[in-house]
A and B are shown apart, each in its own frame.
Chain A
């Protein structure tokens, strides 16, 4: 079956520009997550959606970062006025359910590699 799909796979943009990254979760998965992975590093949590609501935004590094989810499906992560330190791979994951007691594995897409010049 189809996994988590992310687009674009690569994005190169100039410092100061805005970027939008898209995530299509696995069909039927109610929970959606965004993570960031810097070169050679582990994954850093950004935000968690349950349905269209984001009960945990604690990982967003600054107010330049925002995300939304519509129809309980597709999510977009927007970075405004990009900076060079925003360069990283942005990964999206989904799980069947979310919440503290769900203990469901998260399934990842292949990410968007973002490079800020």
Chain B
């Protein structure tokens, strides 16, 4: 069935290195994408979003890339810090679904010292 999924369930990165978290989506009609960070016992925290008319968007230490041709989304975190350790979710809004988000299953980012 249609889904938003992640290639890697766990990603281990050394402090100071860059992290790349990937996400594949299956619905070409999706027009809005969001990355969330979730720490243990907390709700998802908004990181960055991107609309389908864009290929790239940058925030503070984070960049989201959208490749509509292959329906792929990635989150890049520069100079990864221990505080970046969390589970990261991508989510999509499928056009015509009144802002309902469909979430992937998540990738755990572990930052090693």
Q: Which residues of A contact B (CB under 8 A)?
A: 4, 31, 33, 35, 41-45, 48, 50, 55-56, 58-59, 91, 93, 95, 98-100, 102-111
Contacts and interface: CB of A to CB of B under 8 A. Distances in A.
B102 interface: yes
Given A42-B89, A43-B44, A108-B43, A103 B51 contact: yes
A41 B6 CA distance: 12
B97 interface: yes
Contacts of A93: 43
B89 to A, nearest CB: 6
Contacts of A31: 99
Given A103-B31, A103-B51, A109 B99 contact: no
Contacts of A41: 105
Contacts of A58: 100
A25 to B, nearest CB: 13
Interface of B: 31-32, 34, 36, 41-46, 49, 51, 89, 91, 93, 95-106
26 contacts: A31-B99, A42-B89, A42-B103, A43-B103, A44-B103, A45-B101, A45-B102, A48-B100, A50-B98, A55-B98, A56-B97, A56-B100, A59-B100, A95-B99, A99-B98, A100-B96, A100-B97, A103-B31, A103-B99, A104-B99, A105-B46, A106-B99, A107-B46, A108-B43, A109-B43, A110-B42
A111 B101 CA distance: 17
B106 A42 contact: yes
Contacts of B41: 110
Contacts of B46: 105-108
Given A43-B89, A103-B93, A105-B34, A91 B43 contact: yes
A111 B43 contact: yes
Contact of A100 (B45, B98, B104): B98
- The 10 tightest CB contacts between A and B, nearest first, are A108-B43, A42-B103, A43-B103, A103-B32, A110-B43, A42-B105, A98-B99, A108-B44, A105-B46, A45-B100
A109 B101 CA distance: 15
Q: Among A41, A42, A58, A93, which residue has the most Cβ atoms of chain B within 10 A? A: A42
